Amino acid sequence: MSQIASEQALSGMRVLDFSQGVAGPHASMLLGLNGADVVKVEPPSGDWVRRLGDQAEGMSVLYLAFNRAKRSLVLDLKKSADLAVVADMAAQVDIIVESFRPGVMKSLGLDQDSIRPRNPNVIYCSISGFGSTGSAAARPGVDTLIQANSGFMMMNRSPDGVPRRLGLVWVDVATGLYAYQAIANAIIRRLRGGPGANLEITLAQSAAAVQAPKIMEFVQTQGVAPTSLYVPSGVFRTRDGYIVISGTRDEHFLGLCAAIDATQLARDARWPDAASRIRHAAQINALIEERLVQNDAAFWLERLTQAEVMAEAVLSYGQWLQQAHALESSAYAWCDDSAFGALPVPRVPGVLPGDDPAAAHQRPPRLGQHTQEILRSLGKKA
């Protein structure tokens, strides 16, 4: 074992990962990046996310993003011999992650009630859209549906009132994070002499947890919460692009007005305080933008920074990759893969002693890449 591997928090932990999609694979990837040996059990057709979007060598970019630091084992769980292999593995591992519809693992004899007699200390994590109980338990629960169901799309609606989906699988990603922290907590409890755990993590509850302040605010304001908690705030056009301004305090408003040569705006009797500025947000923001469009983003950012007003340029991904801070802080690493060529992989915060996406053991596995290796280690015919 290398020194780096031995320093990782989860070194020696064994994970059997039945999950597909993003939420479960994200959680198991985090386990793998922190040193656990993660075996990803895939059907002959592979994790369905392998086929989502452009494909090369049986993989998509979405698959690549959430399946690093794993080994791929292909088995057909409809066959009794293959099912017996994973049942034996399940009796020996520390952690099981699955994201089937509620009831599927039980039909296979791989649910936590079936596994626990042979593996009493196992940490068993089930991830689904709505969980195993309640009237919605049998309903599909993918990211887009949960964005709609959780109230997020209404909160994120456009100015004309049309509900909007965020163009990122944020519910899946957040669910993976919640699942990982729940598993990590269960590991700590077990190391202190506690029992195993049966964890049920749902996309629906994860979406609600992320939106806790907005849900509480909805009730507190009887559904008429302001779109902004402070003014000036939001996205503003400049002559050559967009900037975002976050003016949380009175001094930010005064500083901004001075920076854009609009001191009369700060003295306007219609908005003498923060509360009145919120009521007149549309008027104030329009007046600010009238000034900002007269010069370039870089010009205004320098002025606003000098005035100690919080502001940033609105960047594309391409601009983010080239910005000085991302390069100076090694925010990502280039990983060469024969499927898609060189791709930038952002580092995962908190992975110690260092997240190296270019390392061979962290590269996402091809379908069934490790099947023979794993079966031989189990004394099975490859």
pLDDT of residue 6: 63
For the chain, give the percent of residues with pLDDT over 70. 97
How far is Cα 351 from Cα 355, in angstroms, rounded to an integer?
6
pLDDT of residue 226: 67
Q: Is the pLDDT of residue 1 over 50?
A: no
Tell me the sheet residues that pair with 345.
333
Do 294 and 360 sit in the same domain of this protein? no
Do 204 and 251 sit in the same domain of this protein? no
Place of tokens 């700590």: 188
**221-275: per-residue pLDDT in tens?**
888 876 677 888 899 999 999 999 998 788 999 999 999 999 999 999 999 998 8
Helix axis angle for 170-191 and 23-33, nearest 10°, is 50
Q: Is the pLDDT of residue 354 over 90?
A: no
pLDDT of residue 24: 98
pLDDT, mean of residues 156-176:
94
Q: Would you say residue 328 lies in a domain?
A: no
Do 81 and 154 sit in the same domain of this protein? yes
Query: In the chain, how many domains are there?
Result: 2
Q: Is the pLDDT of residue 192 over 70?
A: yes
Q: Is the pLDDT of residue 314 over 70?
A: yes
The residue among 272, 295, 320 that closes a domain is: 320
Give the number of other CB atoms < 10 A from CB of residue 183: 28
Written as one letter, the residue type at 314 is: V
Q: Would you say residue 157 lies in a domain?
A: yes
Do 302 and 200 sit in the same domain of this protein? no
pLDDT, mean of residues 119-143:
95
Instruction: For the chain, give the mean pLDDT.
Output: 93
Do 209 and 237 sit in the same domain of this protein? no
Place of tokens 């626990």: 116
Do 131 and 202 sit in the same domain of this protein? yes
Do 60 and 139 sit in the same domain of this protein? yes
Band of the pLDDT at 361, cuts 50, 70, 90?
A: confident
CATH of the domain at 314: 3.30.1540.10
Q: Cα angle vertex 372, ends 371, 373, to 5°? A: 95
* Domain range enclosing 247: 233-320
Q: Is the pLDDT of residue 191 over 50?
A: yes
Q: Would you say residue 227 lies in a domain?
A: no
The residue among 271, 299, 320 that closes a domain is: 320
Q: Are 123 and 94 contacting, i.e. CB atoms less than 8 angstroms apart?
A: yes
Q: H or E segment at 149?
A: helix 143-149
Place of tokens 């709505």: 130
Do 253 and 200 sit in the same domain of this protein? no
The residue among 320, 345, 367 that closes a domain is: 320
For the chain, give the percent of residues with pLDDT over 90. 85
Q: Would you say residue 327 lies in a domain?
A: no
pLDDT of residue 248: 79
pLDDT of residue 227: 67
Q: Is the pLDDT of residue 3 over 60?
A: no
pLDDT of residue 119: 97
**45-74: per-residue pLDDT in tens?**
999 999 999 999 999 999 999 999 999 999
CATH of the domain at 33: 3.40.50.10540
Written as one letter, the residue type at 199 is: L
Contacts of 369 (CB under 8 A, 6+ apart): 71, 72
Q: Would you say residue 335 lies in a domain?
A: no
Do 200 and 259 sit in the same domain of this protein? no
Q: Is the pLDDT of residue 120 over 50?
A: yes
How far is Cα 46 from Cα 173, in angstroms, rounded to an integer?
20
pLDDT, mean of residues 129-156:
95
pLDDT of residue 381: 73
Q: Is the pLDDT of residue 4 over 60?
A: no
Higher per-residue pLDDT: 264 or 4: 264
Q: Is the pLDDT of residue 309 over 90?
A: yes
pLDDT of residue 225: 72
Q: Would you say residue 348 lies in a domain?
A: no
Q: H or E segment at 42?
A: strand 37-42
pLDDT, mean of residues 315-337:
95
pLDDT, mean of residues 212-220:
94
Q: Would you say residue 337 lies in a domain?
A: no
pLDDT of residue 382: 64
CA–chain centroid gap for 327, Å, is 22
b/e 267-278 (16+ beta carbons within 10 angstroms → b)? ebeebeeeeebb
Q: Would you say residue 50 lies in a domain?
A: yes
- What 3-state DSSP class applies to 318? helix
Closest CA to 179 of 47, 311, 15, 312: 15
- What 3-state DSSP class applies to 301? helix
pLDDT, mean of residues 320-324:
97
pLDDT of residue 230: 81
Do 283 and 357 sit in the same domain of this protein? no
Do 185 and 43 sit in the same domain of this protein? yes
Q: 144-148, 223-227, 230-234, 348-352: which range is least confident on average?
A: 223-227
Do 256 and 173 sit in the same domain of this protein? no
